[in-house]
Amino acid sequence: MPNVNDVLRILNVAAPVEYAFDYDNVGHLVGDLDAPASRVLVALDITRPVIREAVESGAGLIVAHHPLIYSPLTKVVSGDVTGSLVIELIKN
């Protein structure tokens, strides 16, 4: 079964990370590189409904065009929009 790292290697062939702008936050942002990823959900943004769909469909990976984490996080707490999404991703 493919894992997250396997999928990232394939994506890097189609869209090499070195072609990204310096300010873009590309690559693996949340989770375990060794986690199974036989199902992948593709989305424009990572939102609560996207996370819910990934969980319900059994996707082991979400590939999004816009990064969830764009600038350095100073906290990961439920009261913060990005923090709450990161928490939900880690839980699921």
8 Å CB contact between 29 and 54: no
Q: Is residue 3 exposed (0-12), middle (13-18) or buried (19+ Cβ within 10 Å)?
A: middle
Q: List 61's β-bridge partners, or say none.
A: 40
What pLDDT does 16 receive? 95
What pLDDT does 65 receive? 95
Report the predicted TM-score, pTM, of the whole model to 2 decimal places: 0.89
| 3-39 confidence digits (pLDDT tens) | 999 999 999 999 999 999 988 999 999 999 999 999 9
Residue 71 has pLDDT above 90, yes or no: no
